[in-house]
């Protein structure tokens, strides 16, 4: 084979390797994003569940006396 043909083949395989590396990195990033999105979704669902439980507790307690705010972040530690 001529030298120029060898150089051409070498550069083609090099660019294929670089392309494969980029593709692999993109797949890895995509997977990381999907995992992060799923984690955030689960945390959001848990937060919604906790807020729902808090509202139920507030409603039940209001029947016997204490009134708590629907938003627990409004509670001040000095009040309790």
Quick: pLDDT tens for 14-29.
677 878 899 999 999 9
Q: What is the pLDDT of residue 38?
A: 98
Q: Dihedral sign for Cα 55, 57, 59, 61, please.
A: negative
Q: What is the pLDDT of residue 68?
A: 79
Domain boundaries, the chain: 3-65
Q: What is the pLDDT of residue 1?
A: 52
Q: What is the pLDDT of residue 80?
A: 47
Measure the CA dihedral 78/68/74/36, to 10°: 120
- For the chain, residues with pLDDT lower than 50 are 78, 80
Do the Cβ atoms of 60 and 52 come closer than 8 Å?
no
């Amino acid at each position: 084979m001529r030298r120029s043909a060898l150089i051409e083949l070498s550069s083609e395989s090099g660019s294929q390797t670089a392309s494969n590396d980029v593709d692999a990195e993109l797949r890895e990033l995509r997977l990381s994003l999907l995992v992060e999105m799923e984690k955030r979704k689960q945390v959001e669902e848990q937060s919604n569940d906790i807020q729902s439980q808090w509202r139920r507790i507030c409603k039940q307690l209001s029947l016997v006396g204490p009134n708590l705010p629907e938003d627990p972040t409004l509670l001040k530690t000095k009040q309790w």
